[in-house]
Copies of this chain bind each other. A is one copy, B any other.
Amino acid sequence: MTQRHETDKPSGGAEPALVALDWGTTSFRAFLLDAKGGVLDRRDEPMGILKVPGGDFDAVFTAVTERWYAAHGALPALASGMIGSRQGWVEAPYCPCPAGAEDLGRRLAPVRTQAGHSLRIVPGVSRDSPGEAPDVMRGEETQIAGAVAAGQRDGLFVMPGTHSKWVEVRDGRIQWFATFMTGEVFAVLCQHSILGRLMADEDAGGGRGAGEGRGGTQEDAFARGLAAAGGPLLHALFSARTLGLFERLPPEGLRSYLSGMLIGAEILQARETLARRGTEARRVTIVGGAALAARYADALAHAGIEAATAPETVTTDGLLLIARAAGLIGR
């Protein structure tokens, strides 16, 4: 029954120790982990919390995990992501910064499933600094815990996505973070603004996010977008139209150009924000999928920031670390 991805940690045939769920807005991944984080089995379902019919999360949980319980009996289960939001199964109230695995482990929200299993949900993290608007994350705190588990107890992280997070970690705990709406701004401008009108599909491979598509034209256009990122943003955005209108960028480069501009702007703005709190962004660890991580690595290099990439197992590693901190599995 072993179903694994090549990026999953292999199990070596050990005993199952945790049912680990990464349950977000649009996707759902369930893992059967051994005590070292090795993946014994895995299920990926298009069952993000907004896609679960009637909000019947129990039914989805049972359908995916029942054979694991049938084969192995009682197992602790831990979930992270939007499943703990107000729109999820139960709300797991935000844990304030600073927050590490121990803090999160003390604030798990319990659920008893109809089949009688015990599931716990990791809280999100909030930052509420005086004189600033509050900020929140949900799901990323678990990935950070995983990066800490992999040995990085201090440093800066960037977590690219719809709502990119920049996270400062000190002694294994999230000390500070800020959200940048880069991915969502990119998506709504491509899909709903005049900027999308001149854009051609960059490849025939279907849907892509802010960082995908890597042909030569796209790489050049992305680099030009990075170069334009330092300008006044509300004005610079319009160049994604005029460069097309004046045929100085081909239609199949406009999307990458806009992506480069927005990712570049995020990096400059994040660096400036960090500098205002006395933190110099010299080295950043990227937490994210390979395609987007590659674009961010290019963009960070362009800004003179050294980049490393976190292991792709941070989510399962984080769930394991938090489960251990909470005493759900042995230390």
Contacts and interface: CB of A to CB of B under 8 A. Distances in A.
A245 B136 contact: yes
A220 to B, nearest CB: 15
Contacts of A262: 234
Contact of A180 (B180, B234, B270): B234
Q: How many copies of this chain does the complex contain?
A: 2
B134 A270 contact: no
A246 B193 CA distance: 30
A135 B242 contact: yes
Interface stretch (A64-72, A97-105, A183-191, A284-292): A183-191
A265 interface: yes
A284 to B, nearest CB: 16
A130 interface: no
Given A233-B269, A243-B133, A188 B193 contact: yes
Contacts of A231: 273
A179 B239 CA distance: 9
A191 B188 CA distance: 9
A91 to B, nearest CB: 12
A51 B96 CA distance: 52
Interface string A72-104: 000000000000000000000000000000000
B269 A234 contact: yes
A181 interface: yes
A136 B29 CA distance: 48
B134 A235 contact: no
Interface centre among A134, A191, A239, A243 (most CB of B within 10 A): A134
